[in-house]
Amino acid sequence: MRRSVVQGLVQLVVLLWVANMIQLGLRYSWGIALPQASAQLELSGFEGGVIASSFYIGYVLTGIPSGILVDKLGTKRVAILALVGVGLLSFFIAASKGFPELLLAFLAAGVIAGPIFPSSLKTLSENLSQNNRATGVGVLETVSPSAMIAAATIFPLVVGEMGWRYVYTLLGTTALLVAVAYYAGVPNTHVEQTREKPSFREGFTN
């Protein structure tokens, strides 16, 4: 395999890794932001827990539909829209003033973030050879623990120095930048095409 091809595949895997890092960072962020946000917005413990759960509710509800959407429309378009949506919702979270806004924002973020992981898996499966595919998936699987480590180490520093809202400003800015890089560096996958079923007669002649 040519060196340029290898570099291109490495860049592809890195971009997919970072894209998933964004949605996972948003997912894990609320636990770090919660104490300060609760104090500022006067949220109860129950409200803070419901906000955290709302992201997962949205993510679970759109798990299967997200995969169908990726198959129908192609990975690139869906993933870019998801990254832009996550970025804009992160800015909305940063500007939120109370429980209703945060609840709706995290629920919507869970819904919109849904296609990012399945689109990444499909992109890997169609761009990596059989000899390298499991390695690529293995690299992608490291995103979740890496995001947890980053959330537990970087986000507390941001919250302590600048405030909890800046965590979401950082996530929103990063998501939009990654969306641009995704557009430039990630190929689209094959879109599912419907084929006509062969006739009874064709079944014998083919």
- pLDDT tens-digit profile of 20-65? 999 999 999 999 999 999 999 999 999 999 999 999 999 999 888 8
Q: How far apart are CA 16 and CA 126, in angstroms?
A: 13
Is residue 127 within 8 A of residue 12, CB to CB? The reply is yes
CA-nearest of 179, 181, 160, 183 to 171 is 179
How far is the C-alpha of 41 from the C-alpha of 149, rounded, in Å? 27
What is the rounded distance in angstroms from the CA atom of residue 117 to the CA atom of residue 110?
A: 12
**Model confidence, pTM:** 0.84
Measured in residues, the chain has a length of: 206
Question: Computed from CA positions of residues 55, 61, 64, 66, in that sequence, does the dihedral angle turn out positive or negative?
Answer: negative
Residue whose pair of structure tokens reads 């709302």 in the numeric block: 54
Comparing CA positions, the residue from 68, 18, 71 lying closest to residue 185 is: 18
The pLDDT confidence band at residue 187, using thresholds 50, 70 and 90, is: confident
Q: Encode pLDDT of 78-131 as tens digits.
A: 999 999 999 999 999 999 999 999 999 999 999 999 999 999 989 888 888 777
Query: Which residue is associated with the tokens 């947890």?
Result: 148
- Per mean pLDDT, which range of 163-167, 175-179, 191-195 is the poorest? 191-195
Q: Which residues contact 141 (CB under 8 A, 6 or more apart)?
A: none
CB atoms within 10 A of CB 164: 24
For residue 7, the model assigns a pLDDT of 62
pLDDT digits (tens, 9 = 90+) for 126-144: 888 777 788 888 888 899 9
Lowest mean pLDDT among 21-35, 66-80, 148-162: 66-80
| pLDDT value, residue 191 | 60
Closest CA to 40 of 164, 147, 177, 194: 164
